[in-house]
Structure 1
Amino acid sequence: MELGDEVLIERAVKGRDRHAYSQLVLRYQSRLRQALRQQCGGDHALADDIAQDAFIKAYHALAGFKRQSAFFTWLYQIARNSLMSHYRRNIPTPDSELVEHSQAQLVSEGPALNGRDLDRAMVQLSAPQREALHLTYRLGYSNEEAAQLMQLPLGTIKSHVLRGKTKLKTILHDWQQEVCNERG
């Protein structure tokens, strides 16, 4: 019989049962790592590091978990905050000329659009748009669940999804036109 999250949390907090917490880790580690991989631009090592850090932070903060949301939602917020802190510490401000040059190279790199083009196009979205689309389309969360995970109002999530989809369509259409023009 599989124990529920509430029981495992209770055992981990009150009984200091590390085995109970390890059951939570086993239950959610793949899901958390998958959710983080898109946010990390496909950097699996970074996603794994952030996930591990999130589980450690969650373990130490478990007694303060108020159960106002699902355990995974709370855990995801910890991971997301860790990732944002990582980016704030480690990513320099981009040089706008270099960004424009890199984007031009992306467009002219391949003769045909493929599955990787979507990932490359996603990079051009704002971080909130990318995260909202990833949560709703790739991970299958509803807009309401994405709003809770991102701690944003529902209307804001809907705007991020709509604007992100519109921008992706434009980017991919432009790339497709470029490919057709190169062939013609």
Structure 2
Amino acid sequence: MDAAEEARLIGLARGGDFRAFGHLVDAHQSAVRAFLRRLTGNDADADDLAQEAFARTWAVLNRFDGASSLRTFICGVAFQYWRRERRSSSRRQARDTAYAELSDTEAEPHARAAQRLALRQAMDQLPEDQRAVLALCLGQDFTHQEAAEILKLPLGTVKSHVTRGRARLQTALGISAESAP
């Protein structure tokens, strides 16, 4: 969807047009869901958070000022929902880890499942902001600037989080900096 069409749909949605908002959701849901899957490690929780984020975006669409992309705005809303959810539910973390171990080992060869579990555990050890930055920039190909807008962090902090977070993941996974892509 080009910027002009998106702007047209935003205008219609602000006027109460649910179909127009539905087209916006269709255009951005895969990016939002993928970002949240990387943060949560669980498809079901990511989908629930995405639904909440889109519902909230509908309610606050009038606050979208166009300074960033709508995708960035929605991911920012989604990040806030994830952060609140993460703070309030340590039991969910234990359940997600157990679920991930089961689903990974059933669907993938053992070595691949072990790699995915190790990556998920290494991501879980990162500070929240650093984890979110890596999920956006490395996992979803958001630019550093877009990540800064979504997470409401200074650009330099985002760049630092990418560098330090990547190094921490490489260390946790036993990957040397020379052999990393």
Which TM class, normalised by the smaller chain length?
0.7 to 0.9
- Name the amino acid aligned to 2:120: D
Could you tell me how far 1:111 is from its partner in structure 2? 8.5
AA aligned to 1:165 is: R
Q: SS at 2:138's partner residue?
A: helix
CA distance in 2, matches of 1:8, 1:54: 18
Task: State the partner residue of 2:141.
Answer: 140
Output the TM-score relative to the length of structure 2. Answer: 0.76
Structure 1 counterpart of 2:78? 79
User: Residue deviations 1:22-66, cap 9 Å, x none?
Assistant: 1011111111111101111x1111110110011111111112322
Give the structure 2 partner of residue 57 of structure 1: 56
Further displaced range: 165-174 or 64-73: 165-174
The one-letter amino acid paired with 1:114 is Q
Question: Rg: which structure is higher?
Answer: 1
Alignment match, 2:178? none
Q: What SS does structure 2 have at the residue aligned with 1:133?
A: helix
Shift of 1:162: 1.4
Per the TM alignment, residue 171 of structure 1 is displaced from its structure 2 partner at its CA by 1.5
Measured on the aligned residues, the alpha-carbon RMSD in Å equals: 2.4
Query: Hey, what's the Cα distance between the residues in 1 that align with 2:37 and 2:155?
Result: 24
The answer to whether the 8 Å contact 2:9/2:20 transfers is yes
Find the aligned partners of 2:84 and 2:116 in 1 and give their Cα distance: 30
In structure 1, what is the equivalent of residue 6 of structure 2? 5
Q: If the length of structure 1 is used for normalisation, what is the TM-score?
A: 0.75
Q: What pairs with 1:1-184 in structure 2 (closer than 5 Å)?
A: 4-14=5-15, 16-40=16-40, 42-91=41-90, 114-173=115-174
Structure 2 counterpart of 1:87, which letter? R
| Partners of 1:20 and 1:127 in 2: CA distance | 34
Secondary structure of the residue that 2:174 maps to in structure 1? helix
Q: Distance in 2 between matches of 1:22 and 1:82?
A: 20
Aligned partner of 1:101 in structure 2 is: none
Please say which of residues 3-12 and 27-36 is displaced more in the overlay: 3-12
After TM superposition, give the deviation of residue 114 of structure 1 in Å: 3.0
Gap runs ≥5 in structure 2: 94-109, 176-181
Query: Percent identity over the alignment?
Result: 35
Aligned-pair CA distance for 1:6: 0.8
CA distance, structure 2, for counterparts of residue 144 and residue 74 of structure 1: 13
